[in-house]
Amino acid sequence: MIKQPMEIENRSFEIIYPYIKNLNLRDDEIKIYSRIIHAAGDVDYAPIIKISETAIDAAKAAILRLRIKNNLR
């Protein structure tokens, strides 16, 4: 049984970070790359992941529009 899931997740991201730290990523890109690599379980994805420059801002805007539309905070 997993007793401390957040500790395990945090340790996973610590393990992943050295593979992405020299990729010149913004903070929000680091979070996304880390999640992709964590989900895949393969750090070899680090140098081949590509996110368009507008993708993150577009996703944030879409989420905000949806939240406003549905009266969510």
Q: Where are the domains of the chain?
A: 5-69
Give the pLDDT confidence score for residue 66 in this predicted structure. 92
- Expressed in angstroms, the distance from the first to the final Cα of the chain is 34
More confident residue, 71 or 29: 29
Model confidence, pTM: 0.81
- How many angstroms separate the CA atoms of 50 and 18, rounded? 18
* 19, 41 contact by CB (below 8 A): no
- Written as six digits, the tokens of 13 are 């991201």
- Output the pLDDT for position 51: 93
Whole-number mean pLDDT of the chain? 93
